[in-house]
Amino acid sequence: MATQALLLAEYSIQPFYPSCSVPKVAMKCLALAMLWIVGILNSRGVKEVTGLQTVSMVLKVAILSLISLSGVYLLVRGKKENVARLQNAFDGEYPDASQIIEAVFQGYFAFSGGGCFTWVAGELKKPSKTIPRCIFTALPLVTMLYLLVNISYMTVLTPREILSSDAVAITWIDRVIPQLTWFIPFAISASLFSNLLINVLESTRGIYIAGQQGQLPLIFNTLNIHSSPLIPVLLNIIIGTIAIVLTNLIELINYLYFVLSIWTVLSMIGLLKLRYQEPDLPRPYKVFIPYIFITMAISLSMVLIPLFKSPKMHYIYVLLFLLSGLLLYIPLTYVKVKLVCFEKMTCYLQLLFNVCIPDKVDEKIQEETFLKRAF
């Protein structure tokens, strides 16, 4: 959420600073404002969120198609400078392993939407059909579209210009279609704003379910009068606020996908454990076993190479922060130690935020309503 808020702020402010970098303080202030606006909207239900997501998809595909088709046209015309830029795009020293891994982290950010549907898999009517369809249709299309967009960038801009630009799409538009200099940033910002809305929606579902299963305090298993999990939304917004204040976009993406690589390894271990211990457990869909080991190997390399090849202390801090969760998980969830103060705090927070724990009938109605609105 913090990365998307920072990216949204960067594209929103960049047109006002055409010849220089965006001031960091202004960008962070706008990112914080956008993040809290999104939190307020999410606390009021899902109807507006899903409508904006549809508009966002149309805007994103339209902008990326414009950039990619324009790049193809410039190459077909065969102008020497455009062809030369593309041919020389990869000239230079070959990056080392740690730089390649960090580049992969940045690429993962562009494809992060591919995992959103798994967070709401519990509400899908036919997950065994819907999830594979999403994987084998949407991801190849997005890959092809991003590939054409990058070719278009390298046809118009040099690698140095791409690296020095805070918003590459805006730099590209200034060079190729200057008449759209103001429209494109607006369209991208609108698209990123709805992305942020959806990110808050899907991430809070995981926290809400963890509260249902007793892996988090009971207060996280509550809903407000709009049937929204207000406490998970508030928690995510607060943590996102801290991340925006303390770091920048590029570093945050590297930290995020370093942690996600660790989570992926642990998830694959858990999947293998369940396959062995619970072979007859009902499963909406089953992953092919070799894919599990391939995913684990790739994710392990993304964890170990940054730690051993270029051991930045930031990665160590992120790893320690992740492991610190065990200090709470072991006594409160694994051992199930009961604390009286938690019950008093839950009652106080319920009154303060006007939230309550839904009963089974309410949950069924909410799930049906969510399905109708979102899917």
| Mean pLDDT score, 93-121 | 74
Of 234, 236, 188, 250, residue with least CA distance to 6 = 250
| Per-residue pLDDT at 251 exceeds 90 | no
What's the CA gap between 44 and 5, in Å, rounded? 20
- What pTM was computed for the model? 0.73
Helices vs strands, H then E, count in the chain: 18, 0
The two structure tokens encoding residue 219: 């207060």
> What is the residue whose two structure tokens read 């759209």?
180
Of 220, 206, 237, residue with least CA distance to 358 = 220
CA atoms within 13 A on the CB side of 216: 16
Please give the share of the chain, as a percent, with pLDDT higher than 70.
Answer: 91
CA 361 to chain centre: 32
| Per-residue pLDDT at 294 exceeds 80 | yes
Q: Could you report the per-residue pLDDT of 49-72, keeping only the tens digit for each?
A: 777 777 777 888 888 888 888 888
> What is the residue whose two structure tokens read 């220089």?
20
Q: What is the largest CA-CA distance in the chain?
A: 74
Please give the share of the chain, as a percent, with pLDDT higher than 90.
Answer: 9
What's the CA gap between 230 and 204, in Å, rounded? 9
Q: What local confidence, expressed as pLDDT, does residue 123 receive?
A: 64
What's the CA gap between 274 and 278, in Å, rounded? 5
42 within 8 A of 49, measured Cβ to Cβ:
yes
CA-to-CA dists, residue 192 to 136, 147, 189, 312, 360, angstroms: 24, 20, 5, 30, 35
369's CB contacts (< 8 A; 6+ apart) are 227
The two structure tokens encoding residue 55: 């508009």
What's the CA gap between 290 and 295, in Å, rounded? 9
10 within 8 A of 22, measured Cβ to Cβ:
yes
What's the CA gap between 232 and 219, in Å, rounded? 9
Other beta carbons within 10 angstroms of residue 58's beta carbon come to 11
When pLDDT is cut at 50, 70 and 90, the band that residue 293 belongs to is very high
Angle between helices 230-246 and 183-212 (to 10 degrees): 130
Phi, psi of 106 (to 5 degrees): -65, -35
**Termini Cα distance of the chain:** 23
| Mean pLDDT score, 104-112 | 74
282's CB contacts (< 8 A; 6+ apart) are none
Q: What local confidence, expressed as pLDDT, does residue 310 receive?
A: 67
Where b means 16+ CB within 10 Å and e means fewer, 219-234 reads bbbbbbeebbbbbbbb
What's the CA gap between 196 and 198, in Å, rounded? 5
| Mean pLDDT score, 103-116 | 73
Q: What local confidence, expressed as pLDDT, does residue 361 receive?
A: 43
Q: What local confidence, expressed as pLDDT, does residue 122 receive?
A: 65
When pLDDT is cut at 50, 70 and 90, the band that residue 3 belongs to is confident
Phi, psi of 356 (to 5 degrees): -145, 165
Phi, psi of 85 (to 5 degrees): -60, -45
When pLDDT is cut at 50, 70 and 90, the band that residue 374 belongs to is very low
- Mean pLDDT for the chain overall: 81
What's the CA gap between 142 and 80, in Å, rounded? 29
Domains of the chain are 1-86+124-246 (1.20.1740.10)
